[in-house]
Structure 1
Amino acid sequence: MGKTDMQTIKYLICLFALLVVLITIFQSETNTYPSNGVINWKGQDWYLMDGKSDPGDNYWNKTGAWIDNQNRLHLTVVKDKGIWNCTTLMSQDTYLYGTFTWTVASPVYTFDKNSVVGLFTYLNDSQELDIETTRWSETEGNQLWYSVQPAKIEGNTQGYQVPLSITGTNTIYKIEWKPTYVRFTSMQENGEIIADFNYTNVSGIPQQPENVMMNLWLLAPPSDGKNIELIISDFTITNE
């Protein structure tokens, strides 16, 4: 091999190494962060709450969500200057009926006992369809909940104890909202059902357009003192 060939090979190796570095930098810079409390994901704007309010009388962070280079949405609970800041997003659009499907990448059934993950539709506190993963600060018991608000009405809430073998990683959650029923379904990635509840009390089913909301919040400071991050890898709405 001649000197010229060796120089060419060295040049190509250096060029390849530089290309790898540039790709890595580019990928890290494709993360998307909120602008003035708004982030665009899955074809619409999502508005982030700020200030202090319910649920949980929490502090809310309008920069607490971001989108990674795989187009996955991240919600956070972060301690900043001694204050725990939670995250809530509300959709730009409202919907009357439809099927709302979330795919969650995080092991939500192993999250801190004082945390709550909410995937829901919302008009007001009495017209709301909820899927929540939480232990409600208990060390044992149900981790998955379905509710048609007001939850205090008998038959409007169902809780489920999920086997320890299911951590919640790569799980799918659906709310199928129709005029005569609401069906809540949670399943594993392979399609195996975790819990399914069909609500048929027509008088309790919301009959007005609602926003879609997602949140990660606290009942009390995390028992382990650590920040929490929720990754939602996909979300779809169908009107069939």
Structure 2
Amino acid sequence: MALTLRIIRLGTGRWQKISSVLLATLPFVFLGCHTAQRNLKPAIQITRVPAASLGGPRVMDYMEGKVSGTQAGDQVVLYAFSEVWWIQPFRNAGLTNIQPDSSWRNSTHLGTDYAALLVEPGYRPALKLGSIPSIGNGVLATAIVKGSGATIVPKRIHFSGYDWTAQGADNDTAGETQSYDPNNAWVDEKGYLHLRMNERDGHWYCAEIHTMRSLGYGTYRFVVQDTGHLDSSATFRIFAYDLLLANESRNDEFDIELSRWDDPAGNNARYVLQPYYVPKNVAKFEAPAGELTHTFRWDPGKVSFRTVQGAVDTPGQKIVSEKVFTEGVPVPANHKIYIDLLDFLHSRHTAKLPTEVVIEKFDYQP
């Protein structure tokens, strides 16, 4: 491809502007020519597929494959799927080099599915994806495969008219890795949700479920049986959370948390608008023993929390605490509702196990 520049003298100032534009655009022109000169259609394949798993930060394996139709500087980007696509092997190491024999190899955390992208030089991969991108904008080829072995199907729970997914993998939460057992979440014959935390063979297992879809703005109400029996480090949380936004924008979550956070003299409850380390984003209070109804109303630019005694939230009920946040309130995207029971810094002391929280009802009104 021939490149011809016609230079017209328009005066010093205008020439400087034009020359700056030309210099700024030349790299992109050359990149386009570079792409057009490929003799073979770029392709990528995965030849070693890790086992299918629900995922987590502790277990890793190797992924490897071959490419063709590449040029100098091309690289590979790997992803593993666990609710969303996570870049592999680490956030700060998301590019895999191609070897002289056109092979590639790198470690990956486990997931239910795996993907490999062949990308052009200078490509900046996303840390998390809702779906694997199509070819274009720096992506030359893609390959997606199911994890090897038995197909992994997350446990589903039907509670209060909604479908929920039970967490079944490790998760980095509350200061350290928490292990979750999907069997620690179940619904009894009354329709009540049970979350249990226990210990088996010296290992802790927590419980968590989340809605399978985002509900958006509206009123969310949770009727929770007595939590006064919880150890000072046991943590029960109800929160709206967008996994795709997490760690990229801390304006992605708000919580109702029942815990003393391992401080026996501290308050046992709080409302939180993330990020929690901003003092005005946290409202602490003391939740009494007995059944409580926790509610939050999510509106544009506002989230209103309220806790009352008893199984209903109606005028005349005794109010335990209220708080309205009007700054930094997230906009609904892919926010799902999570209900979680875990132990804060559980490896540093001994909590009372097993322990359990019962949620009688969840209700949502737009």
**Distance in 2 between the 1:159 and 1:130 partners?**
12
Cα shift at 1:180? 2.6
1:176-191 to structure 2, matched below 5 A, reads 176-189=297-310, 191=317
Cα shift at 1:36? 4.3
The answer to whether the 8 Å contact 1:102/1:235 transfers is yes
Counterpart amino acid of residue 144 in structure 1: A
CA deviation profile, 1:180-222 (whole Å, cap 9, x unmatched): 3111111101721111001111xx1111231011000011337
Structure 1 portions without partners, runs of 5+: 1-34
Q: Is 2:327 the counterpart of 1:215?
A: no
Q: Is 2:60 the counterpart of 1:60?
A: no
**Distance in 1 between the 2:276 and 2:361 partners?**
27
1:159-198 to structure 2, matched below 5 A, reads 159-162=284-287, 166-167=288-289, 169-189=290-310, 191-198=317-324
Counterpart amino acid of residue 99 in structure 1: T
TM-score, normalised relative to structure 1: 0.78
What is the percent sequence identity of the aligned residues? 23
SS in 2 for 1:194: strand
**Distance in 2 between the 1:141 and 1:109 partners?**
14
**Distance in 2 between the 1:109 and 1:200 partners?**
30
Larger helix proportion, structure 1 or 2? 1
1:26-105 to structure 2, matched below 5 A, reads 36-56=154-174, 57-105=177-225
**Distance in 2 between the 1:73 and 1:170 partners?**
14
TM-score, normalised relative to structure 2: 0.52
**Distance in 2 between the 1:211 and 1:224 partners?**
29
SS in 1 for 2:353: coil
RMSD: 1.7
Structure 2 portions without partners, runs of 5+: 1-152, 311-315
The answer to whether the 8 Å contact 2:233/2:351 transfers is no
**Distance in 2 between the 1:136 and 1:180 partners?**
29
**Distance in 1 between the 2:301 and 2:198 partners?**
40
Cα shift at 1:54? 1.9
Counterpart amino acid of residue 191 in structure 2: N
SS in 1 for 2:337: strand
SS in 2 for 1:109: coil
Alignment-derived partner of residue 228 in structure 1 = 355
Cα shift at 1:62? 1.5
CA deviation profile, 1:12-46 (whole Å, cap 9, x unmatched): xxxxxxxxxxxxxxxxxxxxxxx842111122221
Q: Runs of 4 or more off by more than 4 Å in structure 1?
A: none
**Distance in 1 between the 2:235 and 2:173 partners?**
10
Alignment-derived partner of residue 24 in structure 1 = none
Higher relative contact order (CA 8 A, sep 6+): 1
SS in 2 for 1:77: strand
The answer to whether the 8 Å contact 1:77/1:87 transfers is yes
